[in-house]
Amino acid sequence: MIYADYNGSAPLSTAVKEYLIHRINTGPFANPNSSHHLGAKTMLGMNNARKICAQHLGAREDQIIFNSGSTEGTTTVFHSLLSEASATKTPYIFISNIEHPATHTTALSYEKQGFKVKFIPVNENGAIQISVFEQMVKEYRGQIAMAAVMASNNETGVLQPFEKIALICKDEKIPSFSDTTQYVGKLPFDFQKSQLDFAVLSGHKFGAMVGTGILLARDYRQVKPILLGGGQERNLRSGTQNYLGNETLAVALDAFAKKSNRIEILKHKKNDFEKKIKAAFPSVKIIGETVARLPGTTYLAYPKLFGQAIQIELESRDIFVSTSAACSDDKPITSRVLKAMKVDDATGRGGIRISLSIESNLEDSDSDYDKIYLALKDIYHKLLKINCF
Amino acid sequence: MIYADYNGSAPLSTAVKEYLIHRINTGPFANPNSSHHLGAKTMLGMNNARKICAQHLGAREDQIIFNSGSTEGTTTVFHSLLSEASATKTPYIFISNIEHPATHTTALSYEKQGFKVKFIPVNENGAIQISVFEQMVKEYRGQIAMAAVMASNNETGVLQPFEKIALICKDEKIPSFSDTTQYVGKLPFDFQKSQLDFAVLSGHKFGAMVGTGILLARDYRQVKPILLGGGQERNLRSGTQNYLGNETLAVALDAFAKKSNRIEILKHKKNDFEKKIKAAFPSVKIIGETVARLPGTTYLAYPKLFGQAIQIELESRDIFVSTSAACSDDKPITSRVLKAMKVDDATGRGGIRISLSIESNLEDSDSDYDKIYLALKDIYHKLLKINCF
């Protein structure tokens, strides 16, 4: 079985599986906020996890707020930045036009309150151009409530200049947010260095447990909680902390750091795979081919062939890919992200997203990429024949 | 080791531990929203869990919305009921004065928007009296936006007439909500029968994984989501579902149902324990002694002795109890709940909460209650001596 849908969700990493089985067998289990020593031990373990996460994310411990994942994190960021902002003085919310639905939909929901969403366009490679952003900032200077640009796109893997944007935002005093969900655990990330005010991530995208996440806040006093109650996470996120899950965040980030030498191997294998596919099938399009992308993401389209047909054929060979983002995987239409890149429908409907990880089999002779290449070659030939009839 | 802080958090139940270890070893892991069959299999597993949860909770599957726990659930309920309600026409939010901070704080947060919180008082036993509630409804008829009464109190275990209240609310067309976090997994619960519009629960209170929960909604169309994005849970709770955690909800509820014959044994052992303690130490007060309580909860106070001293002495004998709710366990003051019951400070500061479960050792000769009794006898003698000096 080849799992090639890491951008959809990563399986529990080997380190996390081992950790969890040991952890479940040995305990302790307690409310981390209970004052007896089982509670204290649980809290200590979780705060140790916080420390490890902070180290691996280039953040201070007080910048880490554990939550249930990026959708919750994103909602908290918008609430923090907009609930007391003036829709009259600073009506503009800047977001890229390729954001994940969590950012896209949440931003648009603030239009009811008088804010206006301005989309930062991407070029045909799916990347934001700094000059375009600068021009927009110039045009709306002093009226921008916040700017959100994801670190890398979930569908295409195209890296965005989120650090440069954060720097411009810092100079212009615009609060900045980046959805780093598809970036953390795939490439090294340094929150301090990024200059971002806020970032979010989800554990299940890099081998930690599903239902876990972190909100990174430059200044935790800027966070306005959306969940009120017991006052956990220094009053910033009430609700008994998911200590088991939060521990796996540390284990997965640690495992990633230890295996980070495999990032280059992954990138190399992917480039090699893309070259071979293009050589064998010159009609194939690789979305964002010429720009920097995540090391393990290839969005591959064979114009006129349906992505779903290719996906099903791959599946019959025990290879699992997506046709687009997981949340819209069942819609046979050109996605919003591809439309933003002006990808035509013939191509857009024909795409599959192959997303591997440093946990994938990358051994030279018989790697996952080699197997996917052989399978695709076979499938393209078969489907093209059918197409001819 | 005797774990007697089930109301703070239940350890993973034996069934859940076994399930998880098998589950982690065998998979599948995938985004339940991915269209390949690993995703479909994950979704199928989670929807099977939903079905099992629905059966055990007396609910329809479409009434179950998986989330991260009761704090999130409670926030969603208030948002659903109040975001489009008129603070002019229906300004009054009824909540009991012994609610968990999640309800208490969230309700008060709506005062900024013009709503007014009216507290339903409890009597000296910590129970709401229906006649008092009826009187309040009469007084504010037509101006009540919602009513929230928890099913059982987390500190005292006192059962509340939440079903009768829901019935009155139904007649009076007042939306009703009950925080059933401390009830589900301790006593059988039937959502349909309860007549409630909304209820919430957290998995970690009954042996499922921490960070999991369910929002129960009579009519899911009344739910207004607080998290927007990928449109999971039929657009009612975006964010990749915690499928692993949600599966453990089903396993834990199922284990509870299978062991429900132990509820009576637990209750019997607790009553026996309380009788023996009262006989040996007539000064001891049991909060809510004369009213119906959760089968495994005893809030025990020895006036003039500090609860924390007793807790520490018990801990040195490997017995783990709380002095109050987990979220306020470190505050040596009479809690808001006990104050609402007009418990004096000498008693209030002297309390410990012993909360056991049907998973506890209840064997006749050598049960957890027998051991706690012997330990307490010893500790009271010791601490009373110190007091005399």
ipTM, two decimals, is: 0.95
Q: Give me the amino acid identity at B280.
A: A
pLDDT at A389: 45
Condensed to tens digits (0 to 9), the pLDDT of residues B21-56 reads 999 999 999 999 998 999 999 999 999 999 999 999
Which whole number is the average pLDDT over B87-112? 97
* More confident call, B336 vs A53: A53
pLDDT at B325: 59
Print the SS3 string covering chain B: CEECECCCCCCCCHHHHHHHHHHHHHCCCCCCCCCCHHHHHHHHHHHHHHHHHHHHHCCCHHHEEEECCHHHHHHHHHHHHHCCCCCCCCCEEEEECCCCHHHHHHHHHHHHHCCEEEEECECCCCCECHHHHHHHHHHHCCCEEEEECCCECCCCCEECCHHHHHHHHHHHCCCEEEECCCCECCECCCHHHHCCCEEEEEHHHCCCCCCCEEEEECCHHHCCCCCCCCCCCCCCCCCCCCHHHHHHHHHHHHHHHHCCCHHHHHHHHHHHHHHHHHHHCCCCEECCCCCCECCCEEEEECCCCCHHHHHHHHHHCCEECECCCHHHCCCCCCCHHHHHCCCCHHHHCCEEEEECCCCCCCCCCCCHHHHHHHHHHHHHHHHHHHHHC
- Which positions in chain B touch A26 (Cβ < 8 Å)? none
Of B210, B239, B328, the CB nearest to A72: B239
Under 8 Å between Cβ of B126 and B341: yes
Do B216 and B159 share a domain, yes or no?
A: yes
> Using CA atoms, how far apart are residues B165 and B149, in angstroms rounded to an integer?
8
Do B354 and B205 share a domain, yes or no?
A: no
Do B139 and B194 share a domain, yes or no?
A: yes
- Which positions in chain A touch B211 (Cβ < 8 Å)? 68, 211-212, 240-242, 244-245
pLDDT at B330 over 70: no
SS3 A31: coil
pLDDT at B389: 44
Averaged confidence pLDDT in chain B: 95
- Which positions in chain A touch B27 (Cβ < 8 Å)? 11
What is the value of pTM for the model shown?
Answer: 0.96
Distance of CA A385 to the CA centre of its chain: 37
pLDDT at B153 over 80: yes
Do A238 and A360 share a domain, yes or no?
A: no
Condensed to tens digits (0 to 9), the pLDDT of residues B162-200 reads 999 999 999 999 999 999 999 999 999 999 999 999 999
Under 8 Å between Cβ of B256 and B296: no
Q: Do A102 and B70 touch (CB under 8 A)?
A: no
Instruction: Give the list of residues 6+ apart from residue A160 with CB closer than 8 angstroms, or none.
Output: A96, A127, A128, A149, A150, A151, A152, A153
Beta strands across the sheet bearing B351-355: B285-286, B297-301, B351-355
| Residue numbers of the domain that contains A361 | 2-10+261-388
**B236: closest CA among B21, B80, B49?**
B80
Q: Do B9 and A21 touch (CB under 8 A)?
A: no
Q: Choose the final residue of a domain: B258, B292, B307.
A: B258
SS3 A47: helix
The total of other beta-carbon atoms located within 10 Å of residue A45's CB is 18
Do A231 and A284 share a domain, yes or no?
A: no
Condensed to tens digits (0 to 9), the pLDDT of residues A81-91 reads 999 999 999 99
Taking the CA atoms of residue B358, residue B364, residue B369 and residue B373 in that order, the dihedral angle to the nearest 10 degrees is: 180
Of A109, A229, A311, the CB nearest to B228: A109
> Using CA atoms, how far apart are residues B250 and B56, in angstroms rounded to an integer?
8
Q: What end-to-end distance do the CA atoms of chain B give, in Å?
A: 32
Beta strand pairing status for A64-67 and A213-217? antiparallel
If you measure CA to CA, which chain A residue comes closest to B12?
A29
Provide the domain count of chain A.
2
If you measure CA to CA, which chain A residue comes closest to B77?
A227
| Tokens standing for residue A317 | 């060979």
Condensed to tens digits (0 to 9), the pLDDT of residues B53-98 reads 999 999 999 999 999 999 999 999 999 999 999 999 999 999 999 9
Q: Give me the amino acid identity at A350.
A: G
Q: Do A39 and B71 touch (CB under 8 A)?
A: no
Do B140 and B231 share a domain, yes or no?
A: yes
pLDDT at A345: 86
Do A240 and A284 share a domain, yes or no?
A: no
Least Cα separation, residue A261 to chain B (angstroms): 25
Which whole number is the average pLDDT over B282-302? 96
Beta strand pairing status for B64-67 and B213-217? antiparallel
pLDDT at B209: 98
Condensed to tens digits (0 to 9), the pLDDT of residues A13-61 reads 999 999 999 999 999 999 999 989 999 999 999 999 999 999 999 999 9
CA A276, A282, A285, A289 torsion-angle sign: positive
Beta strand pairing status for A351-355 and B64-67? unpaired
If you measure CA to CA, which chain A residue comes closest to B210?
A242
Q: Do A24 and B25 touch (CB under 8 A)?
A: no
If you measure CA to CA, which chain B residue comes closest to A29?
B11
Tally C-beta pairs within 8 A across A and B.
253
Do B348 and B235 share a domain, yes or no?
A: no
pLDDT at B327: 56
Q: Choose the final residue of a domain: A220, A238, A258.
A: A258
Do A305 and A267 share a domain, yes or no?
A: yes
pLDDT at B112 over 70: yes
Distances in Å between the Cα of A22 and the Cα atoms of A50, A249, A255, B17 are: 20, 16, 16, 11
Do B149 and B278 share a domain, yes or no?
A: no
Q: pLDDT class for A386, splitting at 50, 70, 90?
A: confident
Q: Do A9 and B31 touch (CB under 8 A)?
A: yes
Q: Do B9 and A17 touch (CB under 8 A)?
A: no
- Which positions in chain A touch B320 (Cβ < 8 Å)? 30, 34, 36-38
Which whole number is the average pLDDT over A92-100? 98
Do B252 and B265 share a domain, yes or no?
A: no
The CATH number for A382's domain is 3.90.1150.10
Q: Choose the final residue of a domain: B258, B275, B307.
A: B258
Stated as kind and residue range, the H or E segment containing A252 is: helix A243-258
Do B194 and B83 share a domain, yes or no?
A: yes
pLDDT at B158: 98
| H helix and E strand count, chain A | 13, 12
